Amino acid sequence: MVEPLPVGVYWGRFNPPHRGHLSVVRRFHRDFRLTVVIGSAEHRDERRNPFSGRERQQMFEAYLAEVGILDVRVTTLRDGPTLDGAIHRLVRRCHPDVILLSSDKGRFASTVARKVRVVRFARRGVVSSTRIRAAIATGRPDWERLTGRSVVRLIHQFGGPARIRRAHRSRRRSAGVREGRRRRTR
């Protein structure tokens, strides 16, 4: 009798999903019954989280289908007020044997490791969701090569470029207001 594969969870914001995320899925989906868990699902239209959890889920599912990976589940998870609470919800909902985290998530990984085994991997390359959002915000078209065609199509369908530019502008304005207040109170 063949023993079932352990349950692996790849947890992140994936805002938006890109080639680096896909390479992690390719690396681990044969070793685990893999579930991609999209965190911060309750956030949207913010600089770091321009897309809703459901929109990111649609993007990731479309990207996996685009490349022919059909045995990976994608779900969303609300963060809630604390990291411990989010980890508890993740464990209760997905029952992971391991959680896959990039090595640049040090503090986060140590908190998760108190609840479940963590497999850490080195982040490869320079692609990041932050870089993609910054390119979109500044109108640079090179972001489209950093992700799949299906993700690019959905980003446009969701009005992503305008939403990202709006979130970047409002962040700058609110930062200026905060700085102004600080100067006056000193």
Stated pTM of the model: 0.87
Per-residue pLDDT tens over the stretch 108-131: 778 788 888 988 888 888 899 999
Question: Does the domain spanning 7-133+143-185 belong to CATH 3.40.50.620?
Answer: yes
Q: Where are the domains of the chain?
A: 7-133+143-185
pLDDT (0 to 100) of residue 114: 80
Pairing of strands 33-38, 7-12: parallel
pLDDT band at 148 (very low <50, low <70, confident <90, very high): very high
44: nearest Cα among 67, 73, 3, 78: 78
* pLDDT exceeds 60 at position 171: no
